[in-house]
Amino acid sequence: MDGACGVVDLCDGVICDDTGNECTTATCNPSNGACDISNVADGTICDGGAGTCSAGVCEASGGGEVYTQNFESLDQASTTALGDAGFQVFGNVFQGTTDVVIGFYGPFPAPNNPADPAFSLIASGQGGAEQGEQQLVIISDYKNQDAMTAGNVVEALTFQEFTIEAGDVGKTVTFRFQAKLGDLAGSSTAYAFIKTLAPPSYNQTNLVQLNTTSIPATWGNYSISLPIIAPLVGQILQFGFAARATNNQPSGVFYDNMVVTVE
């Protein structure tokens, strides 16, 4: 065109092939139209949760690994599948929108019953290559209708636990997982957590939270950590996920590839 200067998009129509390595990615360089390979962020979960990316290489989790779960081996048709895998649940009821606890119940084995949803379910078809066929979805306790319909907030916790030992002192517990937003609306909230409880009263001594209420509806990598100090020896360490809801508002968040290390 006379008197006009056009800018050529060298990446127009360029499709970069999959590198075949989940710890690297190929993207078109607009300066030359070539596909440049770069490393994904260090710490990205790979190999279905069995490793993490470091400098473009998927490295197996080290000797500090104490727990992994990718939900692929669990029987989705079994209402006791999550409980049989060691998951537990606990419920708290808060008065209205306040932080005043007016009731609590549990712990119980985690349920997996889509016909009567509460706390936890094994989902399918919500993942990509890294998440496989089955995932975990965490919701509030919709069986607690008395609290729900009274306008109170029901906090539903789903978790695993172990006892802190003397050999853990000076180390750090790190809880890594993948997550994406599900059907969550209204005033509902969700979070992942690590907490410690001191028997015999089981008073809470630590709570580390990561808010998952507003995460994207695409899978991402997340982690939280807690240093282990001497006073925690003999206490219970719990790690898992929580959902808060009232008036039967939806509260679902999907999780997968749980990895816990103490190192």
Q: Where are the domains of the chain?
A: 65-262
Q: Tell whether omega for the bond before 111 is within 30 degrees of 0, i.e. cis.
A: no
From CA 240, how far away is CA 177, in angstroms rounded?
A: 10
Angle at 128 between CA 127 and CA 129, to 5 degrees: 130
Per-residue pLDDT, 13: 86
Per-residue pLDDT, 40: 85
Per-residue pLDDT, 1: 45
Strands lying side by side in the sheet with 88-94: 101-109, 88-94, 153-163, 236-245, 189-198, 203-211
From CA 53, how far away is CA 44, in angstroms rounded?
A: 5
Per-residue pLDDT, 145: 97
Q: Which residues, other chains included, contact 28 with Cβ-Cβ below 8 Å and sequence gap of 6+?
A: 10, 11, 14, 16, 34, 35, 36
Q: 65-262, what's its fold?
A: Jelly Rolls (2.60.120)
- Alpha helices by DSSP H, listed for the chain, are 81-84, 145-149
* Element spanning 262, H or E: strand 251-262
Half-sphere exposure of 227 (CA within 13 A, CB side): 3
Per-residue pLDDT, 228: 97
pLDDT along the chain (263 residues), means of 10: 65 87 89 89 73 75 79 98 98 94 97 96 96 98 97 98 96 97 98 97 97 98 97 98 98 97 92
From CA 117, how far away is CA 115, in angstroms rounded?
A: 6
